[in-house]
Amino acid sequence: MPVISSLVPSRFLTLVAHLVIVITIFWSRENNVLACLPPTYTKEEYSSRDTEMIVALSVTLGLFAVELAGFLSGVSMFNNTQSLISLSAHCSASISLSFFVFQKWECFTYWYILGFCSALPAFIEVILFIAVFGLKKKPL
């Protein structure tokens, strides 16, 4: 299989792997919320951290919707540059989020993972979407 044609299934698999890990974190976020708190905490602190995690995970799911819409509509499915960026970002996110779950990292590290591994490819996807449908340009 040529390298170019193997980018599409690889990109889809890394997107799905990242999505599965985010959904898993969403369902079992209690351990990660407790890792963000000091040994003695109040209910307000727990509620605040839990809300922060819910917001971060919800934003991630929204960015997945944007990226999957662009990918499945064909706007960026065969764009090699976007495929490589998305592939590397979501692969990095899958590995990082696995460490986030198993080693119980602090909550603020999730925001870095979200910014570099979810927001960046979704932002590029939006730019491609605007270029293709708004400006009627052919995808790169």
57-77 tens-digit pLDDT: 999 999 999 999 999 988 888
User: What are the pLDDT tens digits along the chain (140 aa)?
Assistant: 555 568 889 999 999 999 999 999 999 999 899 988 999 999 999 999 999 999 999 999 999 999 999 999 888 888 889 999 999 999 999 999 999 999 989 899 999 999 999 999 999 999 998 888 887 766 65
Residue among 89, 95, 83, 82 nearest 116 (CA): 89
- C-alpha to C-alpha distance for 43 and 47, rounded to whole angstroms: 6
User: Would you state the torsion angle of the CA atoms of residues 115, 62, 7, 4, taken in this order, to the nearest 10 degrees?
Assistant: -90
- C-alpha to C-alpha distance for 115 and 101, rounded to whole angstroms: 18
Q: DSSP code of 33?
A: H
Q: DSSP code of 7?
A: H
Per-residue confidence (pLDDT) for residue 139, from 0 to 100: 60
Q: Which DSSP string corresponds to 67-121? A: HHHHHHTTSSTT-HHHHHHHHHHHHHHHHHHHHHHHTT--THHHHHHHIIIIIHH
